[in-house]
């Protein structure tokens, strides 16, 4: 038996109209953003909530750049990625729209996958570009690309979008769908996660070097899959190379007539865990912690470039992560699947990448999607503060549109709500509806205030039991009192669960998503 609730689109549009600036913003906010700032959005890959010292005071893994960013701006303590894995989160940030509204209902794309973002879809770059911004994407794309294929070699794509036949792609031809086809003036990217082939750099719509060999895969911590690689691509140098490109972009555009927008999705500390020589052993807690420190250093280099080029004060910097860390904790003396001598630092007494949160990357539990989230804007935010409001990455688009006083289509990005009033500490109340969480396996949860309802009976990801989506018993947690999600209150508060389930159905209406009553 299926239960379906109807949610009129007009209601959803009214929610959006209330908070998005193309339909009018608060006068105080309009005045505050009259001069358009530069914007830099940095997103780490698989960095957990507990990886940042500022959020995890017991951590000994030094993150001075991120600590300083938090100390100089706004810390959102209840920020979430819209998914527990890479591709859907990136789609949500770019488009202001939950990824489960597309063909991708679970899992991720690969380096050879077809484009996920429709060419007509409004993006963060198209919105800011139309408002006069110079826009760039430098880093990990992971949203599919328009490769041109050899006619005599079938693609033979597997689940991860990895080509089974090396040579299937004609790398000499331009890519027909790349970031520059979605509003970015300039892009310098890797196709997907750093453990997925093809191992190439793509500048605008062409590879910088055609792959000339196939490398075998490697095991953890330097985990990467077999695949085609170009001569100019060195996996261990990728993070530094992309950071250099970002600094170069800032330096080139800081003195320009246009404000600039830089989207910098870093490829780390996602696997392969390969810190450079300068960082190996630096944490004394294993390669993963060393890699976290290298990511912090990369962020620091970008921040220093803003200082050096005189644009620090009028540049909005947002730092976050695409989901929680993939690193497990050792539980009850039992080693996790990463039990290797060089990974001895991941016992709780040493370092907890996801802090005290339950679960890991991919899970519907908080460890899968609660992420670091800092906003710095020296010109407007004079007093550092924390915000406990629940937000998600889909909200970045509407917020930046409001900051830039840019035209914004609320219907094209129905899941994006500006949090600028909270950043500026105005008196405007948040009109954001509940946030929807989504696991790698397609498990849903809905979060409203202190309540979180998991619409399934497991993690929906990696932690056992994985469970099944829309299978009873559901889990209801009071996050304000039980951040570790230890006590299921579904039997004590059935009316709360029923109301949250109803609201989930309203938000998800039109996407063939229904709950199933237990038989």
* pLDDT exceeds 60 at position 20: no
Name the pLDDT band for 317 (thresholds 50, 70, 90): very high
Per-residue model confidence (pLDDT) at position 65? 98
Q: Name the token pair of 495.
A: 């009316």
Q: Domain limits of the chain?
A: 25-423, 435-516
Question: Bridge partners of 269?
Answer: 45
Structure confidence by residue, pLDDT tens digits, 172-208: 999 999 999 999 999 999 999 999 999 999 999 999 9
Contact 402, 29 (CB under 8 A): yes
> Which CATH topology does 25-423 take?
Alkaline Phosphatase, subunit A (3.40.720)
Structure confidence by residue, pLDDT tens digits, 23-69: 333 333 434 344 799 999 999 999 999 999 999 989 999 999 999 99
Q: What is the Cα–Cα distance from 73 to 118, expressed in whole angstroms?
A: 35
Where would I find the beta strands (DSSP E) of 270-423?
A: 315-321, 373-376, 385-387, 391-392
Q: Which residue has the tokens 């290298």?
A: 294
**DSSP assignment, residue 46?**
S
Residues 6 or more apart whose Cβ sits within 8 Å of residue 257: none
Per-residue model confidence (pLDDT) at position 427? 73
Per-residue model confidence (pLDDT) at position 166? 67
Per-residue model confidence (pLDDT) at position 186? 98
Cα dihedral 135, 137, 141, 144, rounded to 10, equals: 40
* pLDDT exceeds 90 at position 365: yes
Which CATH number describes the domain made up of 435-516? 3.30.1120.10
Residues 6 or more apart whose Cβ sits within 8 Å of residue 507: 7, 12, 433, 434, 436, 446
Of the candidates 185, 170, 70, 172, the residue with the CA atom closest to the CA atom of residue 130 = 185
Q: Name the token pair of 47.
A: 């960095």
* Helix, strand, coil share (%) of the chain residues, nearest 5: 25, 20, 55
């Amino acid at each position: 038996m299926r239960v379906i609730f109807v949610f009129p689109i007009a209601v959803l549009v009214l929610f959006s109209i209330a908070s998005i600036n193309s339909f009018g913003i608060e006068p105080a906010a309009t005045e505050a953003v009259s001069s358009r700032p530069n914007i830099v959005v940095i997103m780490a890959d698989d960095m957990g909530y507990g990886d940042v010292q500022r959020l995890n005071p017991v951590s000994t893994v030094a993150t001075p750049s991120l600590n300083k960013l938090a100390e100089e701006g706004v810390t959102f303590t209840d920020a979430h990625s819209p998914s527990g894995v890479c591709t859907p989160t990136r789609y949500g940030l770019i488009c202001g729209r939950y990824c489960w509204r597309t063909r991708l209902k679970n899992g991720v794309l690969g380096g050879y996958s077809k484009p996920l973002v429709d060419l007509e879809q409004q993006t963060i770059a198209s919105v800011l570009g139309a408002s006069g911004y110079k826009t760039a994407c430098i880093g990990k794309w992971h949203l599919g690309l328009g490769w041109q294929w050899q006619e005599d070699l079938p693609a033979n794509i597997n689940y991860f979008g990895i080509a089974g036949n090396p040579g299937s792609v004609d790398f000499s031809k331009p890519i027909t769908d790349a970031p520059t086809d979605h509003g970015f003036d300039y892009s310098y990217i890797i196709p997907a996660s750093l453990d997925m082939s093809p191992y190439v750099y793509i500048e605008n719509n062409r590879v910088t070097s055609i792959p000339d060999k196939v490398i075998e895969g490697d095991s953890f911590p330097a985990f990467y899959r077999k695949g085609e690689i170009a001569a100019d691509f060195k996996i261990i140098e990728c993070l530094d190379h992309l950071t250099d490109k970002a600094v170069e972009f800032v330096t080139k555009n800081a003195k320009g007539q246009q404000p600039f927008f830089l989207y910098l999705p870093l490829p780390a500390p996602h696997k392969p865990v390969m810190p450079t020589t300068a960082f190996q052993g630096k944490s004394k807690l294993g390669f993963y912690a060393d890699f976290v420190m290298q990511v912090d250093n990369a962020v620091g280099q970008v921040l220093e470039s803003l200082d050096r080029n005189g644009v620090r004060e009028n540049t909005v910097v947002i730092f976050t992560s695409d989901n929680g860390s993939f690193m497990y904790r050792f539980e009850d003396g039992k080693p996790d699947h990463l039990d290797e001598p060089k990974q001895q630092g991941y016992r709780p007494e040493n370092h907890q990448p996801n802090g005290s949160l339950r679960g890991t990357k991919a899970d519907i539990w908080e460890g899968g999607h609660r992420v670091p989230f800092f906003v710095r804007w020296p010109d407007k935010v004079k007093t550092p503060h924390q915000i406990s409001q629940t937000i998600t990455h889909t909200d970045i688009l509407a917020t930046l549109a409001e900051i830039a006083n840019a035209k914004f289509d609320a219907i094209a990005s129905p899941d994006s709500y500006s949090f600028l009033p909270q950043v500026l500490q105005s008196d405007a109340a948040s009109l954001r509806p509940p946030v929807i969480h989504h696991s790698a396996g397609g498990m849903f949860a809905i979060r409203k205030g202190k309540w979180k309802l998991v619409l399934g009976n497991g993690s929906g990801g990696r932690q056992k039991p994985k469970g099944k989506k829309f299978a009873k018993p559901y889990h209801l947690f009071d996050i304000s009192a039980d951040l570790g999600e230890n006590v299921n209150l579904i039997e004590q508060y059935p009316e709360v669960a029923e109301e949250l389930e109803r609201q989930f159905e309203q938000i998800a209406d039109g996407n063939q998503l229904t709950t199933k009553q237990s038989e």
